[in-house]
């Protein structure tokens, strides 16, 4: 049986940002070309003939948003017929988690604008990008429960309340704070320092904590079962 095939391959990136003030956000571009011109979408585009998927997604991010990310994890392949009105396109998607204030974003190539949007205030999106964001958020919510992926988003020394806020922002729900702290502390890679939290108002400042990455990797080699 002869199979007719005329398929293009694209990459799209779901870049999650987190700050204590703004919570969890997603980096979006406003398209400057058809289809969906002036509509918001994920950064991404077609893979070149001589490009790897990883090189393509990094290039698209740099061209459309101005940022470079050291680590993006492959999420899923989206290939439903009709997802792109121009051609049959399969998108290999990636996701990552960064500090937005580390980057200076700027739109270029086929992007008219680039901006961060709170995860709860995402505008209508082009293509099937809403579904891609939902899938990426679900993956992130799952991963943060078994791997401490969020510590690099905090300051080197931070109050424990900031770690709680990070988890609640990613999970989009409240947590049992007492039980959460007990579970995190028992692993041994979170160290309490003698430095005190600086408070703007009244109240007793608590000690700051730091994440010992070396200790975590050591425990990981020994077979640590990190689960929140």
113 is catalytic: yes
Among candidate residues 63, 113, 162, 164, the one labeled active-site is 113
Q: Which two tokens stand for residue 107?
A: 């739109």
Q: Is 9 exposed, middle or buried (0-12, 13-18, 19+ CB in 10 A)?
A: middle
Residues 6+ apart with CB under 8 A from 195: 157, 207, 208
How far is 165 from 181, CA to CA, in rounded Å?
12
Q: How many Å apart are CA 207 and CA 163, to the nearest integer?
A: 13
The Cα–Cα gap between 166 and 107 comes to 28
Q: How far apart are CA 210 and CA 212, in angstroms?
A: 6
Active site residues: 113
């Amino acid at each position: 049986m002869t199979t007719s095939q005329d398929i293009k391959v694209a990459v799209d990136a779901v870049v999650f940002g987190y700050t204590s003030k703004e919570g969890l956000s997603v980096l979006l571009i406003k398209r400057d070309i058809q289809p969906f011109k002036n509509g918001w979408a994920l950064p991404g585009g077609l893979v070149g003939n001589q490009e790897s998927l990883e090189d393509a997604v990094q290039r698209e991010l740099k061209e459309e948003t101005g940022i470079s990310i050291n680590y993006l994890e492959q999420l899923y392949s989206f290939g439903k017929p009709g997802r792109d009105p121009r051609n049959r396109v399969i998108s290999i998607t990636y996701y990552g988690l960064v500090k937005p204030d580390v980057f200076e974003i700027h739109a270029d190539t086929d992007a008219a604008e680039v901006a961060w949007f709170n995860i709860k205030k995402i505008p209508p999106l082009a293509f099937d990008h809403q579904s891609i964001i939902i899938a990426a958020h679900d993956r992130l919510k799952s991963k943060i429960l078994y791997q401490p992926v969020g510590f690099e988003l905090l300051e080197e020394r931070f109050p424990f309340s900031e770690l709680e806020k990070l988890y609640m922002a990613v999970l989009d729900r409240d947590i049992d704070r007492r039980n959460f702290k007990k579970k995190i502390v028992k692993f041994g890679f979170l160290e309490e320092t003698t430095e005190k939290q600086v408070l703007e108002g009244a109240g007793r400042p608590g000690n700051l904590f730091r994440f010992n990455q070396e200790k975590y990797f050591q425990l990981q080699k020994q077979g640590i079962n990190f689960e929140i």
